[in-house]
Structure 1
Amino acid sequence: MGEVSADAVTLDLLREARETVMSSPLGVINTPMIPWCQTTLPLSVDCSVHIKLENMQRTGSFKIRGVANQFSRRPRGGHFVTMSAGNYGKSFAYASKHYGSKGKVVMPETAPASRAVLIQSFGVEVERVPTSSMMSAVNRCVQDGNMTFLHSYDDLDLIAGHASLGMEVLEVVPEPDVVVVCCGGGGLLAGVAAAIKLSGCNKTRIYGVEPEGACTMYQSFVEKKPVWMDAKSIASGLAPPSAGKLPFELCQLYVERIVLVSDDEIKAAVSALYRAGLVVEPAGSAAFAALANNKIPDLEGKKVVCILSGGNVGKDELNNFPD
């Protein structure tokens, strides 16, 4: 991606991207938002929570939003390569098939094998490598294979597409006090935060949630620059090797704080959501885990939005979680 600064992200740009996303032939949907009180989920704080169900999105996660905007701005029939633990790769493969593009997904070896099989079913090649080698594999494909790199989180078009989720949130809860969003490379968090803040919700506190073993954005906030690390977590979708440069800049502007949850807290969140009838993958459960474990301060009496970002979890994976 060329050098793009946070200044490029304007409300007009995000509104235009939302029109593109919602009219996309990929079939992006405006996902439901439900009040927490209409579920059987426990809540230890007296506040009003709405849950945004991106686990019900086309291809099973929010990633299709950004992909829809990305592919609308790329030539049909291109030859693209990306890196993904699964959800972006699934949306990328779905779009590649629709647009008649060739594609390759570089996946971390830690990602579930079932996700690689699913991506391959769309006719896209998969290469599994250690997490620390993902960027090297992508660079090799670009240099030797004459492929174009589509970034799975550090891309202006992608972030603008993800911002459509933030705009949908405001249609149901116009002035939320707190919004809690999972964070891996930061594309979703940056897009949602930008949409909410640029729409005039200056008092809204936006929190990103990362796994303790994959805290690239948290560490980036500490070091005041995007960092790389050997990220490991049961939430593989939140464990890219680095925080994105543009997401980091946007999060610095619009995000209150990054909070951390443990893998055990994520496992318990997946189980609690499943018992309540919501199938949510580990990465998609991180924001809920932060709320359930009181990681977000000052919620009493507040209007809160929690994003459940994806539901791509197989039966084999669910067997690894407590009842």
Structure 2
Amino acid sequence: MDEVSADAVTLDLLRGARETVRASPLGVIQTPMISWSQTTLPLSISCDVHIKLENLQRTGSFKIRGVANQFARRPSGGHFVTMSAGNYGKSFAYALKHYGSKGKVVMPETAPESRSILIKSFGAEVERVPTSGLMEVVQRCVREENMTFLHSYDDLDLIAGHASLGLELLEQVPEPDVVVVCCGGGGLLAGVASAIKLSGCNKTRIYGVEPEGACTMYTSFREDKPVWMDAKSVASGLAPPSAGRLPYELCRRFVERIVLVSDGEIKEAVSTLYKAGLVVEPSGTAAFAAVVNGKIPDLEGRRVVCILSGGNIGKDELVTFPG
């Protein structure tokens, strides 16, 4: 991965990436934004909340946005490797099939087996390893099999592609007071925050949300550098082994704070959203869990956007959640 700084992320770069994502043959869509008042969801405070339904995106999550921009800048027919707990791997495999390329997804053993099966159905190879060994296997593939590594969260093209969600959000809800985004390695949070702040919304407060057991960005903020940890959570998509270097730089520049939610709060959020007719995976509910559990300060009377980032959850997983 090229060592680029946060200064490389400009509004012109992000706007160009958005046009690339819009024109992508992978079929990225503009997802709906609905008012909280249109749902049966609970809300204990008086504020104007909108929900961005990225769980309805092509391949079931926001990840296709970054993948579309990455693959647009790589030659078709290549041989690629990545590491992913599921959603990036699914979008990656979908793109491989479309472009006639080959590739491997290195997955943590803790990821649901259903995700592996889904990725394999697109023709990609899957290798499951302990979380601590993900990067070692990727490096072996690059060294011994001459594969090209596409990072699932710490990559300029990927972050610029994810920023298309932030630019789209501003068209649907101009100048929001607060935006709440899930955070794993930080690619989505960095992209959305960069898009909003570089568009001139200086007063918008942006919060990242992580699981308590996978708080890599939270800890990175505290230690003033990207950290690695043995991350574990029911939200496996938010539990990479580290915070990304470039996402960390951008988040420190543009994000108000990282807040934490428990696995119990995440599980309850999955059930609450499902009862309201919204199928959202554990990783995709983190922002919602933070809002309903009072983790975001000063929301009274504010215009708030909450992103539901993904909906890839199997029936076998749903039955394990309360309610």
User: TM-score, normalised on structure 2?
Assistant: 1.00
User: What's the counterpart of residue 60 of structure 1?
Assistant: 60
> 2:99 is matched by which residue type in structure 1?
Y
Residues of 2 paired with 1:299 and 1:216: CA distance?
Answer: 25
User: What's the counterpart of residue 19 of structure 2?
Assistant: 19
| 2:293 equivalent to 1:321 | no
Q: C-alpha offsets along residues 29-79 of structure 1, whole Å, 9 cap, x if unaligned? A: 000000000000000110000000000000000000000000000011000
User: What's the counterpart of residue 34 of structure 2?
Assistant: 34
Residues of 1 paired with 2:27 and 2:49: CA distance?
Answer: 28
User: What's the counterpart of residue 189 of structure 1?
Assistant: 189
Residues of 1 paired with 2:307 and 2:235: CA distance?
Answer: 15
> 1:100 is matched by which residue type in structure 2?
G
User: What's the counterpart of residue 296 of structure 2?
Assistant: 296
Q: C-alpha offsets along residues 175-213 of structure 1, whole Å, 9 cap, x if unaligned? A: 100000000000000000000000000000000000000
User: What's the counterpart of residue 91 of structure 1?
Assistant: 91
Aligned residues: 323
| 2:258 equivalent to 1:258 | yes
Residues of 1 paired with 2:299 and 2:7: CA distance?
Answer: 31
Q: C-alpha offsets along residues 245-295 of structure 1, whole Å, 9 cap, x if unaligned? A: 000000000000000000000000000000000000000000000001000
Residues of 1 paired with 2:234 and 2:140: CA distance?
Answer: 28
Show structure 1 runs of 4+ deviating over 6 A. none
Question: Where do 5+ consecutive residues of structure 2 fail to align?
Answer: none
| 2:31 equivalent to 1:69 | no
Residues of 2 paired with 1:98 and 1:277: CA distance?
Answer: 31
Secondary structure of the corresponding residue to residue 107 of structure 1: strand
Residues of 1 paired with 2:242 and 2:106: CA distance?
Answer: 15
User: What's the counterpart of residue 275 of structure 1?
Assistant: 275
Tell me the C-alpha RMSD between the 2 structures: 0.3
| 2:147 equivalent to 1:147 | yes
Residues of 1 paired with 2:8 and 2:162: CA distance?
Answer: 15
Q: What aligned pairs does 1:67-146 form with structure 2 within 5 A after superposition?
A: 67-146=67-146
Residues of 1 paired with 2:144 and 2:44: CA distance?
Answer: 55
In the TM superposition, what is the alpha-carbon distance from 1:310 to its structure 2 partner?
A: 0.1
User: What's the counterpart of residue 306 of structure 1?
Assistant: 306
Q: Percent identity between the aligned chains?
A: 83
Residues of 2 paired with 1:215 and 1:118: CA distance?
Answer: 27
Question: Where do 5+ consecutive residues of structure 1 fail to align?
Answer: none
User: What's the counterpart of residue 205 of structure 1?
Assistant: 205
In the TM superposition, what is the alpha-carbon distance from 1:317 to its structure 2 partner?
A: 0.2
> 1:233 is matched by which residue type in structure 2?
S
In the TM superposition, what is the alpha-carbon distance from 1:80 to its structure 2 partner?
A: 0.3
